[in-house]
Amino acid sequence: MRRAAGLVLGALALLVLSHVLVEALHLRFAQPAADESIRSLEVFRTAFGRVDVALLGSSQIRRGVSASLLARELSAARGQDTRVFNLGLQAGTLPAYTIVARDLLVGEQMPAVIVLGLGARCANSNNPRHSRVVRHLMAPRDWLGPMGARLSRPAELAALPVAAFRAPATLLLAWRSEDHDFAAGVLARQGSFHAEDGESAGPDPTALSARTAARAKENRDDLLVDFAAHGRAEFALEELFRLGRERGIALLVANLPVSAEFAAQAYTRGEDAAYLAMLRETCARNHARWVDLNAATWGMESFDDGDHLSAAGARRCTEMLAPEILDVWRASPE
């Protein structure tokens, strides 16, 4: 009995020690190898260097804006080299973007402009799938903080056993070999999903309709949760604005496009109007530029599904966004 108790206490001591070491060495928690968007953050941190414009958001901005095309457009307009990186996260939400801005966009990687692309579900932080992204980004100091896990939520409580072993896993993986092919692909596209000259074959109309309907249902179910999560979402957005003011970063918040078919199926009770009104009001209160890219007409040919743009749609969205970024940049104090 005493031997078993000693083994348990020893294991707990090793867990605590591993967390202390991760904190002392300023390591990020080990990331899931399957999540390319989270892995791309490490490529950005270690290999990209200076950045002028950082794109924050979910898979919508990752697939909706071509960072390499945007860099070329801005460089031509400014007459000097402009560096852009797309930090869009699969299933990312406002708390995750705030952690990225706080922890990655510092030093020489601190941009002049942050473009925050918001759209379907981006304020939702109660869905377990989205909470998982926040957990993977958390540093040890976030363990009980407002950006981190909420122990009152069943989904987070269920994740505690896994979270307890993130620190030893991080130490074991700290010196793993780098995937050079993956890193080269991330750097070539500057974090975006579509390459500048990429093409989308596009699904046939029947498949596209089915995928749009499935994503619309997912969005409708999740968006209802957003309204219960507003306190947390607004806190994260206000925190992002505060970081921008402290660091002298200009902020542009963009509502990203969705197809009319998607909107008709996803926003059956005007949820999107209330959702966007909250975001617009928060931007106005913080003197941040708000741009509604969804106000333009977007046909289904611009989408790979209802809320993810195709390569052609991404080119159009990027070209619409470039002058807005220039305007915000020129208006900001040097």
Contact by Cβ (8 Å): 150, 236: no
Cross-sheet strand order for the sheet of 113-118: 84-86, 53-57, 113-118, 250-255, 289-292
Comparing 189 with 155, which gets the higher pLDDT?
A: 189
Residue 304 phi/psi, 5-degree rounding, is: -90, -30
Nearest to 320 by CA among 262, 244, 252: 252
Q: What is the pLDDT of residue 215?
A: 67
Helix-, strand-, coil-residue percentages of the chain, each rounded to 5? 60, 10, 30
Q: What is the pLDDT of residue 33?
A: 52
6 falls within a domain: no
Residue 312 has pLDDT above 60, yes or no: yes
Residue 25 has pLDDT above 90, yes or no: no
Comparing 6 with 306, which gets the higher pLDDT?
A: 6
Q: What is the pLDDT of residue 230?
A: 52
Instruction: Give the model confidence (pLDDT) of 146-181 as tens digits.
Output: 444 444 444 445 555 656 666 676 666 665 556 677
Nearest to 265 by CA among 188, 212, 315: 212
2 falls within a domain: no
What 169-172 contacts at long range (C-beta under 8 Å, 24+ apart), as own/partner pairs, is 169/29, 169/30, 170/18, 170/22, 170/27, 170/28, 170/29, 170/30, 171/18, 171/21, 171/22, 171/27, 172/30
Q: What is the pLDDT of residue 26?
A: 61
* Full residue range of the structural domain in which residue 41 is found: 28-331
Contact by Cβ (8 Å): 304, 214: no
Nearest to 163 by CA among 147, 148, 145: 148
Strand partners, 88: none
15 falls within a domain: no
246 falls within a domain: yes
Mean pLDDT of the chain, nearest integer: 76
284 falls within a domain: yes
Q: How many residues does the chain have?
A: 334
Confidence of residue 322 (pLDDT cuts 50, 70, 90): very high
Q: Tokens for 240, please give them.
A: 């992002």
13 falls within a domain: no
Q: What is the pLDDT of residue 46?
A: 82
Residue 40 has pLDDT above 90, yes or no: no
Instruction: Give the model confidence (pLDDT) of 268-289 as tens digits.
Output: 766 677 778 888 888 889 888 9
Residue 40: CATH number of its domain: 3.40.50.1110
Q: What is the pLDDT of residue 7?
A: 80
Q: What is the pLDDT of residue 149?
A: 42
158 falls within a domain: yes
Least confident of 18-27, 85-94, 259-268, 301-310: 18-27
For helices 154-164 and 166-173, give the axis angle rounded to 10 degrees: 40
Q: What is the pLDDT of residue 83?
A: 92
Q: What is the pLDDT of residue 144?
A: 40
Confidence of residue 73 (pLDDT cuts 50, 70, 90): very high
Residue 247 has pLDDT above 70, yes or no: yes
Domains identified in the chain, total number: 1
Comparing 104 with 125, which gets the higher pLDDT?
A: 104
The pTM of the full predicted model, rounded to 2 decimals, is: 0.77
Residue 41 has pLDDT above 90, yes or no: no
Residue 254 has pLDDT above 50, yes or no: yes
193 falls within a domain: yes
Q: Ranked by mean pLDDT, which of 56-65, 259-268, 295-304 comes out on top?
A: 56-65
Number of Cβ within 10 Å of residue 205's Cβ equals: 9
Number of Cβ within 10 Å of residue 27's Cβ equals: 16
